[in-house]
Amino acid sequence: MRVVEINKRPTSLTMAHVKPHTQLANQKTDLDKNDRPAADKDARWKSIVKRDRKADGAFFYSVKTTGVYCRPSCAARLAKPENVQYHATCEDAEREGFRPCKRCKPDQASLTDQHAATIARVCKLIEVSDAVPSLEELAAEAGLSVYHFHRLFKSNTGLTPREYADAHRSKRMRDELGRASTVTEAIFEAGFNSSGRFYEKTDAVLGMTPSAFRKGGENLDIRFAIGKCSLGLIMVAQTDKGICAIFISDDRAEMHSELQRRFPKANLIGDDKGFKQVVEQVVAFVEAPALGLNLPLDVRGTAFQQRVWQALRKIPAGTTVSYSDIANMIGAPKAVRAVGTACGANHIAVAIPCHRVLRTDGDLGGYRWGLERKRKLLDREASK
């Protein structure tokens, strides 16, 4: 009997069979990458991918396949870059036939702007109210839950609603003490419900008794002396609680005038031989900040300024941070400009190291005692 063998078709392809096809596919992918349009390399596209809220308002983008235009931060499904067009304004997008996205509503105020307007309205309410509204009342005014409102308020102002109210009343108190006929009248005009509640905070609010504040620091003893350091002349002033000022300048009279402006009727005591030792200690610290300053500081400011200054003192010598970093450190990421203002209000040079704060792009930014001194301080700290 004759047996006929039948060749069976292989059930699987060997690598020899597939390799040419795989290579062709890989070559096609490489061609696609090389021929791909530059749309996905555009900085605006990167903002869209990141859904960056900071880019909102800078431009808008439309999607050819859907016929809508959006903000860069829109949470809608990401389009293909080759289907995206960019527009300077909503009007530009609509002229080309695109309609606003129903999700991000680019033709309306952004959520960030809406929140800012809401917080501004609540701040005004706090300022005009005789008594501080409760957190629940403020949240209701904002149309938000208590938790969301509290978080949003702090993010926008850098303060809690209570801290904002206290800071505003403190400012009113300082103003009223200069106008009212009595301290008691000033206390109630400033919005404090009782003199007892005010006196609990008087030291933090004024840095002295109310009567002394009204008299420009009358009967307050402030010892001071001027020395020399590598940055120029340096004035150190101290109350009985600690150092209240460190000024750096090339003008002796200017520093003396600045101290007098701060405490117009205080007893300014100069040429104290014992105090010169304190000045020498401060000068040594300025020349070598890494050694630290083992002297108490008499620092007073608003609640927000206090938080900024405390954060500054945590920055080690030889390290720099941005204003945004400080804002994040104090839990107020949107209060970058307010952080810069607080740095500018610092009157204790080097000991509260605002010179270690730079702009986000690495630029020196500002410095109360001159940018050249800021540069010298940073260079000196970086080399040690």
Q: Residues with catalytic annotation?
A: 70, 354
Contact 323, 359 (CB under 8 A): yes
User: Hey, what are 220's tokens?
Assistant: 């307050």
- Which distant-in-sequence residues (6+ apart) come within 8 Å of 273 by Cβ? none
Q: At what angle do helices 111-128 and 135-142 cross, to 10 degrees?
A: 140
Separation of alpha carbons 273 and 277, rounded Å: 8
- How many CA within 13 A on the CB side of residue 324? 4
User: Hey, what are 136's tokens?
Assistant: 């629940």
The answer for 96, left when phi > 0, alpha when psi is -120 to 50, beta otherwise, is: alpha
- Which distant-in-sequence residues (6+ apart) come within 8 Å of 209 by Cβ? 202
Q: Which of 86, 83, 82, 54 is nearest to 70 (CA)?
A: 86
Secondary structure class of 321 (helix, strand, coil) = strand
Strands 232-239 and 242-249: antiparallel
Separation of alpha carbons 142 and 73, rounded Å: 24
Q: Is 110 exposed, middle or buried (0-12, 13-18, 19+ CB in 10 A)?
A: middle
DSSP class of 79: P
Vertex 224: Cα angle to 218 and 225 (nearest 5): 155
- Which distant-in-sequence residues (6+ apart) come within 8 Å of 180 by Cβ? 186, 189
Separation of alpha carbons 230 and 135, rounded Å: 51
